[in-house]
């Protein structure tokens, strides 16, 4: 049956000399794999730019329940990026976010709230004009609302440290792999209460940006078993270095 949905590109893999399989997170069906026949052919009308990571698409496909690979009928860009391809800071953040999403996204069922968060966040990154350096960190914290381990925002002077395993603030002290120390508890509290749209208003010492991201990724590892080492965040730290 022909179905129409919006989608977000996660990854593509070569299937044959002329075809690829695109893994796309769709609004209507969750994560789906689509066969794109003849994509690598010189006669193909499909441009390679269509399937760049986290591109936002409109899709018409022959959808069959429980079928491992679906077939596309039509596909086009739903929102054309105006700044991301030309701004290395934004494109590197998008690359990093894509790497994280590919590992943590396991949605085989539709989740309209999560899809809307991702779709709108990517558009917001494209439209941001200043102070974009903390976008990806706010994004990661806000994403945990949909992954099931959003932190409790109970930071106070008496509970300044963040317990990475419990997702709460307390007076507990311990190794950095389990408990943050100031000022990072305060920074995390700021991220928790900041929306992606308001991320450009954050006032955090840029010199602490690298360690703050490492803390967030450690928090992810405590709550999502089997995460592999991320690679692109090393490049990201260099691109966004103060």
Contact 192, 184 (CB under 8 A): no
CATH topology of domain 84-239: de novo design (two linked rop proteins) (1.20.1440)
Pairwise CA distance, residues 9 & 26, whole Å: 9
For the chain, strand residue ranges (E) read 2-14, 20-26, 30-36, 56-62, 69-77, 161-163, 168-170
Every domain of the chain with CATH number 1.20.1440.120 lies at 84-239
What pLDDT is recorded for position 29? 93
What pLDDT is recorded for position 194? 96
What pLDDT is recorded for position 14? 84
DSSP string, 84-137: GGG-HHHHHHHHHHHHHHHHH----S--HHHHHHHHHHHHHHHH--S--TTHHH
Pairwise CA distance, residues 98 & 166, whole Å: 26
The CATH class given to the 2-77 domain equals mainly beta
Cis upstream peptide for 183 (omega within 30°): yes
- Kindly give the confidence (pLDDT) of every residue in the chain, 242 residues in length, as a single tens digit, with 9 standing for 90 and above: 899 999 999 999 988 777 889 999 999 999 999 988 766 555 555 567 788 999 999 999 988 888 899 888 899 999 999 999 999 999 999 999 999 999 998 767 899 999 999 999 999 999 999 899 999 999 999 999 999 999 999 999 999 999 999 999 999 999 999 999 889 999 999 999 999 999 999 989 888 999 999 999 999 999 999 998 888 878 888 888 76
What pLDDT is recorded for position 44? 55
- Per the listing, tokens 């290395």 go with 88
* Nearest of 229, 224, 157, 165 to residue 189 by alpha carbon: 157
Report how far Cα 22 is from the mean position of its chain's Cα atoms: 17
pTM of the model: 0.93
* Nearest of 31, 82, 90, 25 to residue 57 by alpha carbon: 25
What pLDDT is recorded for position 41? 54
Pairwise CA distance, residues 46 & 57, whole Å: 13
What pLDDT is recorded for position 89? 94
Contact 83, 126 (CB under 8 A): yes
**Given the DSSP bridges, would you call strands 56-62 and 30-36 parallel, antiparallel or unpaired?**
unpaired
What pLDDT is recorded for position 43? 54
14 forms bridges with which residues in the sheet?
20
Every domain of the chain with CATH number 2.40.50.140 lies at 2-77
């Amino acid at each position: 049956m022909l179905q129409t949905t919006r989608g977000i590109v996660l990854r593509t893999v070569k299937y044959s000399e002329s075809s690829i399989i695109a893994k796309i997170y769709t609004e209507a069906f969750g994560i789906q794999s689509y066969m794109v026949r003849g994509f690598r052919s010189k006669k193909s009308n499909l441009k390679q730019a269509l399937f760049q990571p986290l591109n936002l698409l409109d899709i018409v496909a022959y959808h069959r329940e429980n079928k491992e690979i679906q077939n596309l009928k039509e596909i086009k860009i739903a929102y054309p990026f105006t700044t991301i391809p030309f701004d290395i800071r934004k494109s590197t953040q998008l690359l990093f976010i894509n790497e994280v999403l590919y590992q943590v996204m396991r949605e085989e069922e539709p989740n309209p709230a999560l899809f809307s968060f991702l779709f709108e966040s990517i558009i917001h990154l494209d439209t941001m004009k200043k102070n974009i350096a903390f976008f990806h960190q706010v994004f990661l914290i806000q994403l945990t609302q949909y992954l099931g381990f959003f932190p409790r925002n109970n930071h106070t002077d008496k509970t300044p440290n963040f317990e990475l395993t419990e997702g709460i603030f307390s007076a507990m002290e311990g190794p950095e792999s389990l408990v943050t120390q100031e000022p990072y508890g305060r920074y995390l509290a700021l991220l928790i209460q900041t929306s992606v749209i308001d991320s450009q208003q954050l006032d955090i010492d840029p010199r602490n940006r690298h360690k703050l991201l490492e803390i967030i990724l450690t928090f992810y590892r405590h709550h999502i078993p089997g995460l592999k080492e991320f690679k692109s965040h090393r490049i990201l730290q260099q691109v966004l270095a103060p």
